[in-house]
């Protein structure tokens, strides 16, 4: 009898131990299922990717017509463009810094119950990504100097390679260092340490040639690109600008666009019965075999950067018409020569019309042109 009682106690302890193990495993599974998601990359899928796509769509970066929950090429492009505007490293991966910039303080609560199924990229893709990452990691360090005297003021900055953004109106050794590099690459004629409109224009050209957001400001990404041994010289850019659209194709684009004069403006439409501004350029350029996204902001990042003097028939022209909306390019049209352009205008016009670049409203809000032909 005593032996039976003894064995019964052992069985009781064993059952308790098994129950505890099962409970711990269940808790670990739940914790894992709801662990904070810190990165998403191409090939991943799940509700976390849906949330990412929705956030990118809300900010105008994700243009695919459906929220798919799959991290494909469209999502990678959207993430890369967001990283570009947020001045983050551009790798197309939604890592912790990208997610934090996108969702802010609500990141943890938004992703709390989200699911993520990791993808399995091909060996070739993995090798390409590894090579690209190695190239980024081996880029030369920023060469702009740090200034200790005088102390930073509104116009005279102390350069910090991680945070400082040099912009129009600033002065100092850091500005001078950037200007000297622009001079050596052929984008600027002289350097004086005073960041004015010529420096801004030179930076825009360099940024456009380098695939960087052309905001005319020298942030960490732009300065790093300027410092690189393989920085793109202006001679290469000039050859693209001088080749021009002009000619038969540019004229054909303009004539095709003119057939839509008077067509009603309707937001978020792309023809042929109604257009918004980027919808018109998308529709016209598509007829000539050139694909454009349906936002003026993204169209403004394509092609070769142009000043007003560079414009030729058929080039895209961009404007910043709404102050403080966070968009550098919020309106777009097509240059038709003689200082005029055709566009789908909202407001009182409310239709496809021709306006002047040489005076008035659009002269004052003009930002740049872009050449894709």
- Domains in the chain (CATH in brackets) are 47-135 (1.10.101), 139-242 (1.10.101.10), 244-371 (3.90.1720.10)
Task: Inform me whether the pLDDT recorded for 136 exceeds 50.
Answer: no
On whether the CB atoms of residues 294 and 279 are closer than 8 A, the answer is yes
Q: What was the pLDDT predicted at 43? A: 80
Catalytic residue from among 18, 135, 294, 331: 331
Name the least confident of 107-111, 124-128, 182-186, 251-255: 124-128
Catalytic residue from among 18, 21, 135, 277: 277
Name the least confident of 96-110, 115-129, 339-353: 115-129
Q: How many residues does the chain have?
A: 373
| Mean pLDDT in residue range 194-215 | 83
∠ CA 197-152-185, nearest 5°, is 40
Sign of the C-alpha dihedral computed for residues 186, 188, 192 and 193 taken in this order: negative
Work out whether strand 316-319 and strand 366-371 pair parallel, antiparallel, or are unpaired: antiparallel
What mean pLDDT is reported for the chain? Answer: 76
Name the least confident of 87-91, 123-127, 257-261: 123-127
Task: Inform me whether the pLDDT recorded for 124 exceeds 50.
Answer: no
Q: What was the pLDDT predicted at 51? A: 93
| Mean pLDDT in residue range 294-303 | 86
- Phi-psi category of residue 186: left, alpha or beta, with phi > 0 → left and psi -120 to 50 → alpha: left
pTM score over 0.75: no
Task: Inform me whether the pLDDT recorded for 41 exceeds 50.
Answer: yes
Indicate the burial class of 167 (C-beta count within 10 angstroms; 0-12, 13-18, 19 or more).
middle
Q: What was the pLDDT predicted at 123? A: 37
* 343 assigned to active site: yes
* 135 assigned to active site: no
How many angstroms from the chain centroid is the CA of residue 246? 29
Q: Which pLDDT tens digit goes with each residue over 145-183?
A: 332 223 333 344 444 444 568 889 998 888 888 898 898
């Amino acid at each position: 009898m005593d032996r039976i009682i003894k064995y019964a106690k052992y069985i009781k302890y064993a059952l308790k131990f098994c129950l505890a193990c099962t409970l711990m495993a269940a808790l670990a599974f739940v914790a894992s299922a709801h662990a904070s998601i810190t990165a998403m990359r191409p090939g991943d899928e799940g509700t976390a990717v849906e949330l990412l796509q929705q956030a990118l769509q809300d900010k105008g970066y994700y243009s695919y017509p459906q929220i798919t929950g799959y991290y494909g090429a469209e999502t990678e492009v959207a993430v890369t463009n967001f990283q570009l505007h947020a001045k983050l490293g551009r790798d197309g991966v939604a890592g912790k810094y990208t997610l934090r910039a996108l969702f802010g303080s609500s990141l943890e609560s938004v992703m709390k119950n989200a699911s993520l199924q990791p993808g399995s990229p091909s060996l070739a893709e993995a090798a390409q990504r590894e090579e690209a990452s190695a190239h980024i990691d081996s880029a030369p360090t920023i060469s702009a100097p740090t200034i200790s005297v005088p102390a930073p003021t509104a116009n005279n900055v102390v350069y910090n390679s991680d945070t400082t953004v040099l912009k129009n109106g600033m002065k100092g050794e850091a500005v001078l260092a950037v200007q000297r590099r622009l001079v050596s690459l052929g984008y600027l004629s002289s350097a004086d340490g005073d960041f004015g409109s010529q420096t801004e224009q030179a930076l825009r050209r360099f940024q456009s040639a380098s695939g960087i957001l052309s905001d005319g400001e020298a942030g960490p990404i732009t300065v790093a690109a300027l410092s690189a041994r393989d920085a793109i010289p202006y001679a290469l850019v000039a050859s693209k600008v001088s080749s021009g659209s002009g000619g038969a194709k540019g004229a054909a684009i303009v004539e095709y666009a003119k057939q839509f004069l008077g067509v009603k403006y309707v937001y978020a439409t792309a023809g042929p019965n109604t257009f918004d501004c980027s919808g018109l350029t998308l529709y016209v350029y598509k007829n000539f075999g050139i694909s454009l996204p349906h936002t003026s902001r993204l169209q403004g990042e394509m092609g070769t950067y142009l000043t007003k003097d560079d414009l030729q028939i058929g080039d895209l022209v961009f404007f910043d018409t709404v102050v403080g909306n966070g968009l550098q390019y919020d309106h777009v049209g097509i240059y038709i020569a003689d200082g005029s352009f055709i566009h789908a205008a909202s407001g009182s016009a409310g239709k496809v019309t021709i306006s002047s670049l040489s005076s008035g409203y659009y002269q004052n809000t003009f930002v740049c042109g872009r050449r894709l032909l």
